Chain A
Amino acid sequence: MNITQLTLTETIEALKRKEFPEEDLNKAYLERIKDLNPKLNAYLEIVESKKGIPAAIKDVISTRGIKTTASSKILENYIPPYNGTVINKLLEQGASIIGKTNHDEFAMGSSNENSAYGVVKNPWNISKVPGGSSGGSAAAVAADLCVFALGSDTGGSIRQPASLCGVVGFKPTYGTVSRYGLIAMASSLDQIGPMTKSVEDAALVMEWISGPDGYDANMSSEKFKVKNEKLQSGIRGLKIGVPSEYFEEGLDPKVKQVIQDAIKKLEELGAEIVEVSLPHSQYAVAVYYILMSSEVSSNLARFDGIRYGKGRDQFGAEAKRRIMLGTYSLSSGYWDDYYAQAAKVRTLVKQDFEKAYQKVDVIIGPVSPTVAWDFGAKLDDPLAMYLSDIYTIPANLTGIPGISLPCGFVDDLPVGLHILGKFGDDMTVLQTAYAYEQATDWRKEKPKL
């Protein structure tokens, strides 16, 4: 048996059956990390754990006594004196931290090229980007360098790298998982979520990490519970919306074909496919870049080099760009034109989804307009990079849950299927994803390393 290929649920079962001790489990992963991390650069920090179920944590989530850099020079030596809530919850469930994963600095980017500690390589083809910002977590799951990982998603940072690396990435409904201990980027959009080898694993990790802690004022009072009978109940009669706007110009025709095949598969499984319209989606990227950067300029004001970290000259280029854009849009004379107008268009984007969800249970489409691209391809054109998040951003603006799961390949690179749910209905998203995953073999494909 290859220990590192097991999913989280399989690992738990194997441990229960005493097929191997936790020490061997940790050893197997650590050996693989030592072997492959020099090639992939997925981990920034490796913890020599001997016990527990090895989890990889995005380096933007605070871990007591373990360096947490946010992939930035400004926090090069920062050692948090406390754990984020999600870390405490994972430890309580018997998980252990095997390492901290690389990502775009302060979770800002779509390719991992904004990390101050070098790029993460895509395990499927090391000349390609892994996506971002949670690229290290996605690569670590894809290359079997951890049992599961945590990422954070502000505009697609869990789902887009999951799509580009061929793993499952789930962004829960806003307010389901506490952000206490997450180094904040844009607080009205940020959510922590699981990146896993299967949909069932994502559901289990969600059950572990969700629920109010009293330290995140935007939490809903209910804890997410996996209802196995619902997860496995199939999708017969489920109404699935397909937004025409997500299949227009800009979507790679080969990716489009893969997504259309997936839609056909869902139809075969008994779902009813309904066309829906999200006319304001075309404005989502513009809305996002104003609101996100405004919140960034406020959240990153705390980095003053007094209580922790280095001076503000140590921010990387993208962090500086967003601080500048946000400060400008909030500055006197421009607030009405930019921030206030963007917040109003956000309402229209939200109303589009509310209207669509009167007719359907979930909405599906692509996660990323293309498969993983070459390093450097979009680096000099921030706007082109921003547009790669066009399908993922609306879920953050509206707070709804969304998942990316493997649904095929284009030019030997993975394609992710995007399933979006109603606000608070994370379960139906997982149920749809589970039905598709069980009916296909995509998740069994592994990169050759």
Chain B
Amino acid sequence: MSLSRNQVKHVAKLANLPLTPQEEEKYSEQLSKILDYIDQLNSVDTSGVEPTFNVSGQENMMSEDKLGDCTISQEDTLSNTPKEERGFFVTKGVFEG
């Protein structure tokens, strides 16, 4: 399985990952090699085998709808943001206008 430079560009876009042309080249080569190795999984007969996504056996863990002691103040919440305004995070615009 080889991953072309264009596919690498497409995947990087999906991942919102800025890559330099050198990185695109490098990842095209390295990921192709890794995918070649991973292709051995397709030789395994998995007909009738259920997938495993979680090994804890837990599902739909519920908690009461109340404040817990992990609540963090607004001030603390904003303490690491590079840009804040009037107590809010500043994000990029979502709508063009």
Q: Which residues of A contact B (CB under 8 A)?
A: 77-79, 81-82, 174-175, 180, 188, 214-215, 217-220, 280, 283, 285-287, 289-290, 297, 301, 304-313, 315, 320-321, 323-325, 327-328, 331, 337-338, 340-348, 350, 382-383, 386, 397-399, 423
Contact = CB atoms under 8 A, between A and B. Distances in A.
14 contacts: A175-B58, A214-B63, A219-B58, A283-B40, A301-B15, A311-B18, A320-B17, A324-B12, A328-B11, A338-B38, A342-B41, A345-B44, A348-B46, A382-B33
A325 B17 CA distance: 12
B27 A321 contact: yes
A341 B43 CA distance: 10
Nearest to B30: A382
A344 B50 contact: yes
Contacts of A382: 30, 33-34
B68 to A, nearest CB: 7
Contact of B52 (A82, A297, A301, A343): A343
Given A215-B70, A324-B12, A286 B53 contact: no
A175 B56 contact: yes
Nearest to A337: B42
A175 B61 CA distance: 13
Interface in B49-63: 49-56, 58, 61, 63
B46 A81 contact: no
- Which bracket fits the contact residues of B? 35 or more
Given A307-B89, A328-B31, A341 B55 contact: no
Contacts of A309: 80
B38 A347 contact: no
A81 B75 CA distance: 9
A308 to B, nearest CB: 4
Interface centre among B16, B23, B44 (most CB of A within 10 A): B44
The prevalent SS among residues of B at the interface is loop
Interface in B1-48: 3, 7-8, 11-12, 14-19, 23, 27, 30-31, 33-35, 37-38, 40-42, 44, 46
A219 to B, nearest CB: 8
B82 interface: yes
A350 B42 contact: no
A306 B89 contact: yes
Given A328-B3, A331-B11, A188 B30 contact: no
Nearest to A310: B82
Contacts of A398: 55
B21 to A, nearest CB: 14
Given A214-B68, A290-B41, A324-B15, 10 more contacts: A78-B80, A175-B58, A285-B37, A306-B90, A307-B81, A308-B80, A320-B17, A325-B31, A327-B11, A398-B55
A188 B55 contact: yes
